[in-house]
Chains A and B, each alone.
Chain A
């Protein structure tokens, strides 16, 4: 089973700030998921990445397989980015997904 750790648990930022959320895992993986959970509870997939970097709008996700670490960056943060961000990783040789406990982001105008 993979152990997945996220940091920070809570993050408050001023609108416009650059935000970084970190995710570390214990077992070598082939892909890692970043999810966003809206204040209303719905969950959407932001990224699935297995190497390098992916970008979607103001969101950038990176992964370093050797260091077992991934980061989610938000540029020019906006109050609508306020949500819980969750990373998830499968175990080695397993289709079981293990989730980090999430990072609650609040962006203040």
Chain B
């Protein structure tokens, strides 16, 4: 069955630290990949997405993600986090015509 794994469930960082959140998926075919973010008290919103082309994707607020096909991974990175990045981050894969599989999420807390 298709699945998405986010290995870090809770991450605590100090401001200015670098961030990398892992995401691995299981599906051998063509995939579209997404990272969504949910800030406290807000709706889920799209951070970035990869459909094709350059495997290094840049999103909003300085986030980027790299698609490594051989590793079935789509890790999220940010060189220097801010307190305002405190949120829950979800990786998602669209592996069919419409079906989206989400990971269990990673709660990031950034200490000021």
Partners in one complex: no
